[in-house]
Amino acid sequence: MLMGEEIHSHNHLDSVDFNMITEHMGDFNTSALHRKLMSKVEALRIIRKELEQFRTERDQFKLMAETLQLRYSALTRNNGYSGCVGIDGNKSTVASILHETRERNIKLTTEVESLKQKLNELRGDIELLRSSSKEGNCEKAQMDMADDTNSEALQWKKERSSFICHLENLKKKNLQLAFDLKTLIAEKEDIISERDAYKCKAHRLNHALLNALNANKAHPQFLDIDGILLENKYLHERLKNYESELDITKQSLTKYKVKIIDKMMINLQT
């Protein structure tokens, strides 16, 4: 019974390990390690089937031995000490069966021990594969980190080059704006000088106009030239309006004349 419990516990552990391996199968990234692990898992499955078969055979032989023991006890109680020859024959048969059963149990125990040893070796191989897979994952993570670092460095170089180009463009624009500012300042100075010249000219013209009109006493010292120009413009507009009204009146008179002539012609015909 103890051996059956041990085998049952080992089978339970095997099923747990098998489920654990199948659940974590996605963690192995290397194809070679994956193939090795699959072969180990298949070996574990075969060993587990063999253990189940041996346990079933052991239970069958155990049940057979118990049945024979019960039959032997029943025969002993029923026959007593008579028929010693038959009893001796039954004893020899039972003894031979028990001997074969013991040998078979010893053989099964030996096979179970060898299977346990194989199972331990497979577990060691699995642990080794796990450790090598972890090392491979660590190396891959380091390579990924190195690639990320290289990509970040390349990205930084690209950004720096684009930033330098942008600064150069801004520098060119700044130089162009400085040149434009100098040009505008020069134009402003020219315009200011022209304005001063026109002011002086207007002052001279105003003074000359005052002298021409002899308006030193009758008029103020400075005439309102802008007012005079506006009044002149207003008078020109009124003149244009009068001319347009005169044209409209002429057109109306022409129409009336035509109508009167038409009426006179009609009256003459009648």
Are 148 and 249 in the same domain? Answer: no
Domain identity same for 137 and 21:
yes
Query: Which DSSP string do the residues of 36-53 spell out, in sequence order?
Result: HHHHHHHHHHHHHHHHHH
Are 229 and 161 contained in the same domain?
no
Same domain, 30 and 117: yes
- The residue from 165, 200, 233 where one domain ends is 165
Which among 148, 165, 182 is the end of a domain?
Answer: 165
Give residue 83's pLDDT.
46
For residues 250 and 143, state if they share a domain: no
Residue 265 located in a structural domain: yes
**Structural domains counted in the chain:** 2
Does residue 207 sit within a domain?
Answer: no
Print pLDDT tens along the chain (270 aa): 444 444 444 444 454 454 555 444 444 455 666 677 777 777 777 877 877 877 787 777 777 777 776 776 666 666 554 444 444 555 566 667 777 777 777 777 787 777 778 777 777 777 777 777 677 666 666 776 766 677 777 888 888 888 888 888 888 888 888 888 888 888 888 888 888 888 888 778 777 777 766 655 555 555 666 677 788 888 999 999 989 999 999 898 888 888 888 888 887 776
What is the structure's pLDDT at 50? Answer: 78
Domain residues for 244? 224-270
Nearest by Cα to 105 from 144, 59, 166: 59
* CA atoms lying within 13 Å on the CB side of residue 253: 6
Distance CA 86, CA 179 (A): 135
Q: Is residue 57 part of a domain?
A: yes
267 part of a folded domain: yes
Q: Is residue 154 part of a domain?
A: yes
DSSP for 244-257, please give it: HHHHHHHHHHHHHH
User: Model's pTM, two decimal places?
Assistant: 0.27
- Whole-number Å distance between alpha carbons of 253 and 55: 139
Residue owning tokens 């980190």:
145
Comparing CA positions, the residue from 89, 59, 55 lying closest to residue 72 is: 89
- pLDDT value for 136: 67
* Residue where one domain finishes, among candidates 149, 165, 181: 165
